[in-house]
Amino acid sequence: MVLNKGNLFEAELVTDLINKVTGKSSAANLSQQKAIPFNGEKVFTFTMDSEVDVVAESGKKTHGGISIAPQTMVPIKIEYGARVSDEFMYASEDQKINILQAFNEGFAKKVARGLDLMAFHGVNPRSATASAVIGNNNFDSKVTQAVTIPKGMADPNGAIESAVETITGADAEVTGIAINPAFRSALAKQKDQQGNAMFPELAWGAAPTSINGLPIDVNRTVSDMATPNDRAIVGDFANSFKWGYAKEVPLEVIQYGDPDNSGLDLKGYNQVYLRAELYLGWGILDASSFSRIVEAEA
């Protein structure tokens, strides 16, 4: 047996899993990944209230001031399971490893999408409804700065400039932007005053990693399951958003019963059930460092 009930993913598979999540999640791709412990972690942000002070020789020093704002990143457990033929239990070791690698790859895609949907919109990805567990720890709830773009998104570049202005006006910086495919298409169609494409690098569905030197990530998760019509999220992903994972990832092989409540007994259908669980946590450290671009209803 390569795998027994209650085993953990091998360290190599966990690393591969997180690498895949980072590559496919806009929130993770634009930010800095950070591992967190099971009981959560408080991340402190310091705000210097004044400027530096010039002090003359033998001169008096004055108080500059500092503000400390804690943000707790609490891991949330997510799970994914799938039924496979019970031939898995009798397959060769190489074949079992192939199955687990395929499961790991599929799980990574679901985790990446799930991280975005949870952090951007505060939803339970499976039910597509607001999650009481997540609460207001999401961009739609916390980021009140928003730029409304007319329906049809006639001037997406102008909307980005306005969003950047709201952020830099609050003494924050912009390190990345996540956009949905429709917003990408609107940018690709935008013309300059001479009638030339303003962003030719977006032609034919291309999705570059940066535009005008700003990191960019195109992902449906920006708008999927969003209560407002989110089209883009602009801001300081590198410093004001953190996410992480607990390193132990349980992988269970269930041979009996009806673990997915489908009404189908595993033994009765010659199946086993693979279930993986992962603890994820994230924190929006400074909501004023972000702005959402929302498309008007009409």
Quote the pLDDT of residue 13. Answer: 78
Sequence-distant (≥ 6) Cβ neighbours of residue 51 within 8 angstroms: 64
Residue 228: is its pLDDT beyond 90?
Answer: no
| 134 pLDDT above the threshold of 70 | yes
Find the Cα–Cα–Cα–Cα dihedral 164, 167, 172, 173, rounded to 10°.
-20
Nearest to 218 by CA among 233, 207, 203: 207
pLDDT of 197 reads 93
| Of 37, 68, 11, 83, nearest in space to 255 by CA | 83
pLDDT digits (tens, 9 = 90+) for 67-92: 666 777 788 999 999 898 888 888 87
The answer, yes or no, to whether residue 4 has pLDDT greater than 70, is no
- CATH fold of 11-46+69-295 reads hypothetical protein PF0899 fold (3.30.2320)
Q: What single-letter DSSP state applies at residue 114?
A: H
Query: Which of 3-7, 12-16, 18-22, 280-284 shows the lowest per-residue confidence on average (mean pLDDT)?
Result: 3-7
Higher pLDDT, 47 or 265: 265
Identify the pLDDT of residue 2: 41
| Arithmetic mean of pLDDT, 15-27 | 87
Strand 230-235 to strand 271-284: parallel, antiparallel, or no bridges (unpaired)? unpaired
Please give the sequence-ordered ranges of beta strands (E in DSSP) within the chain, or none if there are none.
Answer: 32-33, 41-48, 66-73, 76-85, 123-124, 129-130, 146-149, 176-179, 210-211, 214-218, 230-235, 241-245, 251-254, 271-284, 290-295
Kindly state the tokens that stand for 12.
Answer: 């190599």
**pLDDT beyond 80 at 213:** yes
The partner residues of 282 in beta bridges, in order of sequence, read 243
Is it the case that residue 1 has pLDDT exceeding 70?
A: no
State mean pLDDT over 37-65: 71
What is the pTM assigned to this prediction?
0.86
DSSP 118-130: HHHH-EETTTTEE
Model confidence at 241: pLDDT above 70: yes
First-to-last CA distance in the chain? 60
Residue 261 region by backbone torsions, left for phi larger than 0, else alpha for psi between -120 and 50, else beta = left
Spans of all domains in the chain: 11-46+69-295
Residue 41: CB atoms within 10 A of its CB come to 18
pLDDT band at 47 (very low <50, low <70, confident <90, very high): low
Tokens encoding 272? 């086993």
Determine the Cα–Cα distance for residues 36 and 114; give it in Å rounded to an integer: 18
Is the pLDDT confidence value at 103 over 70?
yes
